[in-house]
Structure 1
Amino acid sequence: MAQLEKAIFAGGCFWCMVQPFDSLPGIHSVVSGYTGGHTENPTYNQVTAGGTGHTEAVEITFDPDLISYSELVEIYWRQTDPTDAGGQFADRGDSYRPVIFYKDDHQKEVAEASKQALQESGKFSSPIVTQIEEAKPFYPAEDYHQDFYKKESAHYKRYSVGSGRAGFISRHWTEE
């Protein structure tokens, strides 16, 4: 078995970023949390209030022999609106901005090439504004945020639809 690797993606509310990755072959865990900021061990209330510099994100532990980082990046794009730097869907502000946090040069190169390919594809008329940033410490969110889509499935489904995420994904990504 290969050594496990980690990928960190921010795409708005972390509740909606777990399920798309969680059951794929080669995924060992998907943890909701906070990263990119300067406050150590932030809480949900601190992050959403602003001032910590953190973004809601997911940290994915995966086996690169079963699923590649490149495949994860492609799945990531299909969960987000890569043309919206001000948040994602109903969630607005820096704590919901879309970011691919890279752990090493390989991840940076893959993310940048993928972003460029998406821009050149013409899929979106607006520029692809998702940031690609070096990973900073990742802090797991409180327990009640973990696996939210499983624990509170009805609430999760209402949120996914009500926030506009489900409709956007259906309009822009389902033909893929």
Structure 2
Amino acid sequence: MSNLDIIFPASDIERISSRLKECETIGGKFSVLEMFVSEKMGLPEVNPRLPYALQLLNSEHSISIDALSQSLCISNRGLQKLFKKHIGMSPVYYRKIIRFNKAAQLLLNDSENSLTEVSYTCGYFDQAHFIKDFKEFGGISPSEFLRYKTNGSDFYNYRISEPHTLDSIKQQQINI
């Protein structure tokens, strides 16, 4: 009797052992173990469309939600339910987060790009939507972001707790 016999029945241990011996790669063994543990914990099986959807949304090419649902052979509502269940947010919101991160990286790494170029590169149809989403996730406009960058500020670690705080910082700088 092994220590595993306390947690799992002997038949499960024999079954998983034989499946692990059949695997030739470490990745395969991890997949077998992951499926076994998820099954035992009662975790819901992930729809195979989800990893593909995430891959498409994370790819370099921007894809519309309609095109995404068509490529997955699923309705827009079905895609919405799939994301809500496994990701915890809508595919539209997830795509906005991806776009914001991509835009922030482009602005950080390449100062030659105009805001219009960045917005189109990130899949926006106009600069107004880009600026709106950037403000929503970053708390500041892309031009303010670029100003912080040129002044050497660390945007990701900079917090403005109150709007008047920024004014008081500027006033202190003037008084010095």
Q: TM-score range by the shorter chain?
A: under 0.3
Q: Could you say which structure has the higher strand fraction?
A: 1
TM-score by length of 1: 0.21
TM-score of the pair, normalised by structure 2: 0.21
Q: Which has the higher contact order (CA 8 A, sep 6+)?
A: 1
